[in-house]
Amino acid sequence: IQPKEKYLNGIALIIWNSKKGRKDVVSFPESNLPENINERFAQLFKVKEKWTVDEIAPYIS
């Protein structure tokens, strides 16, 4: 199955797996993040170093 990335916003991340040479879908629901914005950003950037605006928007709005 090839899901559209926009349908996964706020519930999963698509991360490049260099060992497998493909993208992996990883469950990452917004509801599991801390409410404190500083803690939330810390956790987001621990999971993924670089974000696009479209990727991070569901997690900070």
- pLDDT of 2-28, one tens digit each? 768 888 999 999 889 999 999 999 999
* Widest CA span in the chain: 35
pLDDT (0 to 100) of residue 21: 94
Crossing angle for the helix pair 37-47 and 53-60, to the nearest 10 degrees? 140
Residue type, 3: P
23-45 confidence digits (pLDDT tens): 999 999 999 999 999 999 999 99
- Cα–Cα distance for residue pair 40/36, rounded to 1 Å: 6
CA atoms within 13 A on the CB side of 58: 16
Domain ranges, ordered by start, for the chain = 5-60
Apex 4 CA angle, 41 and 58, nearest 5: 25
